[in-house]
Amino acid sequence: MKRVLFVCLGNICRSPTAEGVFWHAVEEAGLNRHIIVDSCGVGNWHVGKAPDTRAQVAASRRGIDIGHLRARQLSAGDFLEFDYVLGMDRDNLKAMQALQPSNSRAHVGLFLEFADLPEAEVPDPYYGGDEGFEHVLDLIEAASVGLIAHLRNDGLRNDRL
Ligand code: 4NP
In a domain, 140, yes or no: yes
Q: Is residue 14 part of a domain?
A: yes
The 10 Å Cβ neighbour count of residue 41 is 26
Within-domain flag for 159: no
The answer to whether position 161 is within a domain reads no
Is 65 within a domain? yes
Q: Which residues are catalytic?
A: 8, 14, 124
Residue 119 lies in a domain: yes
Cross-strand partners of 38: 5
Contact indicator for 112, 139 with CB cutoff of 8 Å: yes
Q: Give the number of C-alpha atoms closer than 13 A to the C-alpha of residue 118, restricted to the C-beta side.
A: 0
Does residue 144 sit within a domain? yes
Q: What is the pLDDT of residue 153?
A: 86
Residues 109-120 have pLDDT tens digits of: 999 999 999 999
The model's pTM is: 0.96
Atom of ligand 1 minimally distant from the CA of 16: 5
- pLDDT tens, N- to C-terminus, the chain (161 residues): 999 999 999 999 999 999 999 999 999 999 999 999 999 999 999 999 999 999 999 999 999 999 999 999 999 999 999 999 999 999 999 999 999 999 999 999 999 999 999 999 999 999 999 999 999 999 999 999 999 999 998 767 555 44
What distance in angstroms lies between residue 72's CA and the mean position of ligand 1's atoms? Answer: 12
Q: Is residue 158 part of a domain?
A: no
Tens of pLDDT along 127-155? 999 999 999 999 999 999 999 999 998 76
pLDDT for residue 151: 96
Count of structural domains, the chain = 1
For residue 158, the model assigns a pLDDT of 57
Q: Which domain holds residue 136?
A: 2-152
- What's the rounded Cα separation, in Å, for the pair 117 and 120? 8
Q: What residues flank ligand 1, with Cβ below 6 Å?
A: 8-14, 45, 124, 126
| Residue 25: CATH number of its domain | 3.40.50.2300
